[in-house]
């Protein structure tokens, strides 16, 4: 066996077995080549339009480019969330008196620190997953987005994101200056996190009945975390008196916006993780087949197993497996819930995957609306085939695995019908069954 083939085999073995090559090194290698690949997302498109003088970003003396950027990217102001923990690039600007504002839509996340030198942006790239940018708050023509790689991946490509470029929502105890008290613990937050463990280091506006959470809490004594009383931080509908509200676009840090944000982050991260895993597995198959001169049964089984695992993890995220229950009604303050619900794609019965529940669970129909995203549609064909097959089996009741027991027969039927009417590019097998039986499923 030649030295070249031995090298190929050794490299492939390391990538597939989790050897000495780090996970971060994996996405910098073929086929991902994260840093070397030119992004194609809403920010790269906007920059091209700015360079060609087809659009402009207007500079505001108080907020810099923030207002204009939100408008151009169609990011609603009612998504505003306020975080006061020093856990971003501009830690010197963040404290309980000067929280950082976050805004988002289905494909973009924007961070703004009052008086900061730059705006932080993370874009969902259909191929590269999360791509990070900064925009300097200098009045120049045209403004220029700077892609950030190492500076952001230090935190955003670690165990917290399963070693792919991803988004992070954290809950932790914070002192009066905004410094995290790491000795008290830190938790990644998504829709599986119990509400009582969420929002440490965040302001939260909204009502939630008897639910307790860690939002609005500033710790003064590092030695008595367990005995802290956060009763004044519950069911807060106004942040008046906590900081200067005039420095922000709205006076809200909406609880419903926070919950949707956390769910969306998780699914975007899982799309990236599953997509990278599938592409790496397929590249491994191609490389090994070329080296061996054929595809062996062992090789085929190994690749299929890896793609199947990536598919299963994504299906679980899409279908809210292990979602933390809501035991008391939740209501926001900014109008986010009403506007967000209306933005959904509806079927003929007016049902949408963006309809909120907020009584027992986050959404009325527990199937993530992120399934409509360009990032989902851009996943490798082999992976999508597995995802669609598993989803169909679950929604038709052919798959009654315990992990999907939270889905009632009515839930499954409704989700199936909504997807059949609203999701383009469904597999032919889905529609063929409807044609054959005369009804979904």
pLDDT, tens only, 17-31: 444 345 557 899 999
Side-chain-facing half-sphere of 212: CA atoms under 13 Å: 6
Rounded distance between C-alpha atoms, residue 107 and residue 43, angstroms: 10
- Give residues with Cβ within 8 angstroms of 12, minimum separation 6: 284, 287, 288, 291
The band of 16, judged by pLDDT with boundaries at 50, 70 and 90, is very low
Residue 387 has pLDDT above 60, yes or no: yes
**Portion of the chain with pLDDT greater than 90, in percent:** 74
Number of domains making up the chain: 2
- Residue 18, pLDDT score: 42
Give the residue with greater pLDDT, 390 vs 159: 390
23 is a domain residue? no
- Residue 11, pLDDT score: 44
Which of 256, 282, 298 is the C-terminal boundary of a domain? 256
Same domain for 407 and 277: yes
Same domain for 242 and 298: no
Count other C-beta atoms under 10 Å from residue 349's C-beta.
10
337 is a domain residue? yes
10 is a domain residue? no
411 is a domain residue? yes
Over residues 182-203, the pLDDT tens digits come to: 888 889 999 999 999 999 999 9
Same domain for 275 and 221: no
Side-chain-facing half-sphere of 280: CA atoms under 13 Å: 29
Beta strand 129-136 pairing with 145-148: antiparallel
Rounded distance between C-alpha atoms, residue 219 and residue 222, angstroms: 7
Same domain for 334 and 211: no
Residue 441 has pLDDT above 60, yes or no: no
Count other C-beta atoms under 10 Å from residue 137's C-beta.
19
Residue 4 has pLDDT above 70, yes or no: no
Output the CA torsion sign for 403, 408, 409, 410.
Answer: negative
Q: How far is CA 76 from CA 79, 109, 207, 414, in A?
A: 6, 11, 21, 29
Which of 221, 256, 291 is the C-terminal boundary of a domain? 256
197 is a domain residue? yes
- Residue 433, pLDDT score: 59
Same domain for 330 and 243: no
Residue 3 has pLDDT above 80, yes or no: no
The band of 156, judged by pLDDT with boundaries at 50, 70 and 90, is low
Domain that holds residue 136: 42-256
Backbone angles phi, psi at 4, to 5 degrees: -60, -45
Same domain for 97 and 76: yes
368, 344 contact by CB (below 8 A): no
Residue 151 has pLDDT above 80, yes or no: no
Residue 227 has pLDDT above 80, yes or no: no
Dihedral of CA atoms 188, 191, 192, 197 in degrees, nearest 10, equals 60
DSSP 323: P
Same domain for 164 and 223: yes
18 is a domain residue? no
- Residue 89, pLDDT score: 80
Residue 393 has pLDDT above 60, yes or no: yes
The band of 8, judged by pLDDT with boundaries at 50, 70 and 90, is very low
- Give residues with Cβ within 8 angstroms of 255, minimum separation 6: 204, 205, 206, 207, 208, 215, 330, 331, 332, 333
Give the SS3 label for residue 219.
strand
Same domain for 89 and 67: yes
Which residues, listed in sequence order, are joined to residue 133 by a DSSP beta bridge? Answer: 121, 147
**Ordered alpha helix ranges (H), 247-346:** 255-292, 297-318, 336-342
């Amino acid at each position: 066996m030649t030295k070249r083939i031995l090298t190929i085999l050794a490299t492939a073995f390391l990538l597939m077995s989790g050897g000495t090559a780090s996970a971060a090194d994996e996405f910098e290698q073929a086929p991902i080549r994260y840093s070397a690949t030119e992004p194609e997302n809403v920010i790269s498109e906007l920059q091209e339009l700015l360079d060609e003088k087809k659009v402009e970003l207007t500079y505001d003396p108080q907020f810099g480019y923030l207002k204009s950027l939100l408008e151009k990217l169609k990011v609603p102001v009612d998504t505003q969330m306020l975080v006061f923990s020093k856990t971003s690039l501009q830690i010197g600007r963040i404290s309980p008196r000067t929280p950082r504002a976050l805004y988002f839509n289905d494909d973009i996340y924007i961070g703004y620190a009052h008086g900061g030198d730059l705006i932080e942006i993370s874009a969902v790239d259909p191929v590269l997953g999360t791509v990070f940018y900064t925009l300097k708050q200098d009045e120049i023509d045209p403004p220029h987005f700077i892609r950030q790689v190492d500076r952001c991946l230090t935190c955003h490509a670690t165990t917290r994101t399963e070693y792919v470029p991803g988004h992070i929502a954290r809950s932790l105890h914070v002192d009066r200056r905004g410094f995290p008290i790491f000795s008290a613990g830190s938790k990644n937050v998504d829709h599986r996190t119990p509400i009582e463990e969420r929002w440490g280091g965040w302001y939260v506006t909204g009502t939630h009945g008897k639910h307790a959470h860690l939002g609005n809490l500033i710790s003064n004594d590092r030695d008595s975390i367990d005995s802290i009383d956060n009763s004044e931080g519950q069911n807060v509908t106004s942040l008046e008196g906590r900081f200067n509200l005039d420095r922000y676009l709205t006076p809200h840090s909406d609880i419903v916006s926070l919950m949707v944000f956390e769910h969306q982050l998780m699914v975007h991260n899982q799309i990236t993780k599953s997509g990278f895993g599938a592409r790496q597995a397929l590249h491994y198959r191609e490389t090994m087949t070329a080296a061996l001169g054929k595809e062996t049964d062992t090789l085929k089984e190994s690749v299929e197993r890896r793609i199947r695992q990536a598919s299963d993890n994504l299906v679980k995220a899409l279908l809210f497996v292990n979602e933390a229950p809501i035991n008391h009604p939740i209501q926001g303050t900014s109008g986010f819930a009403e506007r967000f619900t209306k933005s959904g794609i509806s079927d003929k019965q007016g049902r949408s995957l963006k309809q909120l529940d907020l009584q027992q669970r986050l959404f009325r129909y527990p199937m993530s609306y992120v399934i409509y995203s360009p990032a989902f549609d851009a996943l490798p064909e082999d992976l999508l085939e597995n995802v669609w097959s598993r989803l169909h089996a679950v929604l038709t009741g052919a798959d009654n695995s315990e992990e999907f027991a939270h889905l009632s027969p009515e839930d499954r039927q409704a989700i199936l019908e909504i997807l059949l009417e609203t999701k383009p590019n469904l597999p032919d097998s889905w529609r063929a069954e409807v044609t054959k039986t005369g009804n979904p499923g």
